[in-house]
Amino acid sequence: MIFVTHFAAFRRFLAFVAYTTDMPSTLIIVGICLLVVSVALFRGVPAAVRGGRWLGGAGRGLVGLLLLALAALAGTISVGIRGYRALTYEEVAATVKTEPVGVQRFRATIVLPDQRLAMYDLAGDAFYVDAHILKWHPWANFVGLHTAYELDRVTGRYNSVTDERTRPHTVYSVARTRPVDLFFLARRFKLLGPLVDAEYGSAAFVAGTKPAEYEVRVSTTGLLMRPVIH
C-alpha cells in the first residue's frame, strides 16, 4: 500500500515537472555533470587510502555515492518526463467551425493540418467526426512512435434516438489516399505485432446549434474536441 502511494506521488511529481518545465535536456546535462564529478571523486579514493588518509578517502567515497545517486535520479526524472509527455501527446487533426443555417441544419467548415478546406451542410443537432486510431505500446512512445490516426468521416448527429431513426442523414468522407497505409500494414504483417497495442475506432461530437470553433485533437486515448478561444 505504501509503495502504491509513493508511486502515485512520484507520477504526480513527474506530471508537475513536465508541466512546469520545457527543458528536460537541463536535467540530462545536470545528471552528466554529477556523474563526471562522482567518477572523479571515486578515482581519488585509492590514492587517499594509499596515502593513509582513510577519513579523506571515506569522505570522497560517500560524496561520490551521493552525487552518483543524484545523477541517477536526474536521469530517471528525465526519462519519466519524456514518457509522460509522449503518453499525453495531443495533435490537432482538424479545426472545425459550425454555423446554424436552419432547424437541425448547420454548416461545418473544416480545415485540416495540410490546409485542405472542406465545407459541408449537415443535418442534425451536433457535429460528429470519427477516425481510425492505431495505438502503439507505451514503451514505443519513448522512441518517438506516437498514436497514428486517420480521420474517416463527418456527419450530423441528432440528440433524439427517434430523430436518428426517422430524420435525414448526411455523411461525408474526409479520408484521403495515402502512399503507405499504416493501418493495412499493422493488420497484414505480424512483424509489427509487438509494437501495436490496439487498433480501433474513435469518435467525438459537439453541438452544432450555435456558431463555434473547435479543434479536433487526437491523443493516445482517442479523439477529443476543444473549443478555440480567440
Helix residue ranges per DSSP H, the chain: 2-20, 24-50, 54-87, 138-141, 161-166, 182-188
What is the spatial distance between Cα 116 and Cα 176, in angstroms, rounded to a whole number?
11
pLDDT digits (tens, 9 = 90+) for 143-160: 666 777 888 999 999 999
The values of phi and psi at residue 229, to 5°, are -105, 115
**Cα distances (angstroms) measured from residue 53 to each of 45, 64, 65, 125, 196:** 9, 16, 18, 82, 58
Low-confidence ranges of the chain (pLDDT < 50): 1-7, 10-11, 13-23
Q: Where are the domains of the chain?
A: 2-87, 91-227
pTM value > 0.95: no
Q: Which candidate, 59, 56, 60, places its Cα nearest to that of 41?
A: 60
Q: Which candidate, 91, 126, 42, places its Cα nearest to that of 221?
A: 91
Provide the pLDDT for residue 23. 44
What is the spatial distance between Cα 8 and Cα 135, in angstroms, rounded to a whole number?
24
What is the spatial distance between Cα 194 and Cα 126, in angstroms, rounded to a whole number?
38
Provide the pLDDT for residue 187. 67
What residues contact residue 158 under an 8 Å CB cut-off, 6+ apart? 104, 124, 125, 126, 164, 167
Provide the pLDDT for residue 27. 61
Provide the pLDDT for residue 99. 96
Provide the pLDDT for residue 59. 80
Q: Which residues pair with 157 in a beta bridge?
A: 126
pLDDT digits (tens, 9 = 90+) for 120-138: 999 999 999 999 887 777 7
* DSSP string over 98-134: EEEEETTEEEEEEE-TT--EEEEEEESSEEEEEEEEE
